[in-house]
Amino acid sequence: MSQGSVHIKDLVKTYTDDRGRPTFTAVKNINLDIDNGEFMVLVGPSGCGKTTTLRMVAGLEKISSGTISIGDRVVNDLEPKDRGIAMVFQNYALYPHMTIFNNMAFGLQLAKKKKDFIQETVTRTSQALGLNQMLDRKPQALSGGQRQRVALGRAIVRNPVVFLFDEPLSNLDAKMRVQMRSEISRLHGQLGSTMIYVTHDQVEAMTMGDRICVMKDGVIMQVADPLTLYRKPENLFVAGFIGSPPMNLLRGKVQKQSSGLVFTETGEQNAISIPIKGPLESLVSKYVDKPIVLGVRPEHITEESKNGSHVPLTSAVDIAEPMGSESLVYMKAGGGSFIAKIHGEKLFHQGQPLTVYVDTGKILLFDPETEAVIR
């Protein structure tokens, strides 16, 4: 079955002013294939074109060039209602003057479905979402989480092949967000429909997506499953965007010393040096004495040395953020600071010297000019 697959080919969106003059290109020639039943997350900072892309899939935004297919149909010129999609908006977009029942039934009523069918579908869906006690109320009488559940229900009753989510959890408080996150994931498991989910929150992206499409300035930076994005970011942007706290990115040079290749950070004070070992050695030969960016995640700078790939690094503590079982320690470096994740219930104070161990096996190197990973 491939009816729920979505194929985006050479997609471009250029906005124009009233006179038709181009003003801004939001989406620049992107290609993306989404499998039937896949949960695809589009993530990126605001203005990266992710919402515009979703709205073009929905049919709310005209396509400047390129094609979008759902199943084996090109949908460029189809009305939204004929595309087999349903959409959940960030601001719920419920109809405030209608009851919850009518909010959910509106689409079915317009499609001239039988009354019994509408009654049955809406009742069943509202039960599954825990809304069956509220069908006579208006949206105003509901809490934020309940309202977003109504919006979800309205999408479900349409029985779409593709669900589109436009930052559906951004307006909820932190607790409700976590709850709805798992509810949407469970829904995906039950329905097995294709879902395209737009968010600016990398935690949502990592926890919900089968695959994640990271976008920036209208261009796709990388498409991969969450673990691949975490382990093997293809460029500086993805490396810095995925992961919390973000990856340490240190600017400097690789130099040949008597002990071998060593990365030395740029900076007058506190500049740190890390020896380059293992498979990286052969990769950086071209970059000796040239600018380079070294990336290492905070969770790979720890207090203990487990094996031979760990090298010690001593610097002074700048700020520490104790989280209970672990602490994020900002340590002084040439370009400001780098973050280490120290396990155990410990307290640190400013200026305290600390030796941490960097797992050189997890280090990534980037070309600062192309911003691509060196491999």
Partner 1 sequence: MKPSHRLRLKKMLAHGFLLVALALVVLPFLMVLVTSLRKGNFPPNSLWLNPDQWSLEHWKYVLNIPYSEIVNPSTPPLHWLWNSVIVSALSSAGIILLSSTAAYAFARMRFKFRGHILQSLLILQMFPAVLALTAYYTILDSVGRHVEWLGLNTLPGLISIYLAGVSTNIWMIKGYFDTIPASMEESARIDGASPFQTFVRILLPVSAPIFAVVFILSFIYTMSEYPVASAVLGTPKTWTLAVGASSLLREHEKLWGHFAALAVLSGVPITVMFLLCQRFVIGGLTSGGIKE
Residue type for position 49: G
**Which residue number, 158 or 300, has a Cβ lying nearer to partner 1?**
158
Residues 258-287 that bind partner 1 (CB under 8 A): none
**Which residue number, 41 or 172, has a Cβ lying nearer to partner 1?**
172
For the window 176-195, what string marks contact with partner 1 as x by the rule CB under 8 A?
Answer: --------------------
82, two tokens: 């004929």
As measured in angstroms, the least distance from the Cβ of 52 to partner 1 is 13
Pairing state between β 39-43 and 211-216: parallel
As measured in angstroms, the least distance from the Cβ of 54 to partner 1 is 12
Residues 79-98 that bind partner 1 (CB under 8 A): 79-81, 85-87, 89-97
Tell me which of 43, 58, 224, 373 binds partner 1, using CB under 8 A: 58
Separation of alpha carbons 123 and 103, rounded Å: 12
363, two tokens: 């280090």
As measured in angstroms, the least distance from the Cβ of 184 to partner 1 is 17
Return phi, psi of residue 7, to 5°.
-120, 120
Q: Is 1 in the site for partner 1 (CB under 8 A)?
A: no
Residues 59-78 that bind partner 1 (CB under 8 A): 59-60
Tell me which of 46, 72, 77, 140 binds partner 1, using CB under 8 A: 140
Tell me which of 149, 154, 181, 341 binds partner 1, using CB under 8 A: 154
Query: Considering only 12-20, 248-256, 265-273, 308-316, which stretch makes contact with partner 1 by CB under 8 A?
Result: 12-20
**Which residue number, 89 or 230, has a Cβ lying nearer to partner 1?**
89
Tell me which of 1, 110, 227, 347 binds partner 1, using CB under 8 A: 110
Cα pseudo-dihedral 68, 169, 201, 220, rounded to 10: 0
Residues 159-178 that bind partner 1 (CB under 8 A): 171
As measured in angstroms, the least distance from the Cβ of 210 to partner 1 is 24
Max Cα separation, the chain?
83
For the chain, the straight-line distance linking the first and the last C-alpha, in angstroms and rounded, comes to 37
**Which residue number, 31 or 91, has a Cβ lying nearer to partner 1?**
91
Helix (H) or strand (E) holding 9: strand 6-16
Query: Which string of b and e fits 25-36 if b means at least 16 CB within 10 Å?
Result: bbbeebebebeb
As measured in angstroms, the least distance from the Cβ of 85 to partner 1 is 7
Q: Is 141 in the site for partner 1 (CB under 8 A)?
A: yes
The CB-side HSE value for 272 (13 A sphere, CA atoms) comes to: 27
Ordered alpha helix ranges (H), the chain: 50-58, 100-110, 115-128, 144-157, 174-191, 202-208, 226-231, 236-241, 280-283
As measured in angstroms, the least distance from the Cβ of 273 to partner 1 is 51
**Which residue number, 144 or 361, has a Cβ lying nearer to partner 1?**
144
**Which residue number, 155 or 301, has a Cβ lying nearer to partner 1?**
155
Separation of alpha carbons 17 and 35, rounded Å: 35
**Which residue number, 49 or 59, has a Cβ lying nearer to partner 1?**
59
SS3 category, 187 = helix
Residues 119-138 that bind partner 1 (CB under 8 A): 138
Separation of alpha carbons 278 and 357, rounded Å: 16
Tell me which of 3, 10, 45, 111 binds partner 1, using CB under 8 A: 111
Q: Is 158 in the site for partner 1 (CB under 8 A)?
A: yes
Q: What is the DSSP string of 253-285?
A: EEEEETTEEEEEE-SSSS--EEE--TTHHHHGG
Q: How many residues bind partner 1 (CB under 8 A)?
A: 35
Q: Cis omega before residue 139 (within 30°)?
A: no
As measured in angstroms, the least distance from the Cβ of 208 to partner 1 is 21
Cα pseudo-dihedral 364, 369, 372, 375, rounded to 10: -60
113, two tokens: 């479905």
Could you list the residues that contact partner 1 (CB under 8 A)?
18-20, 58-60, 79-81, 85-87, 89-97, 106-107, 110-111, 138-142, 144, 147, 154, 158, 171
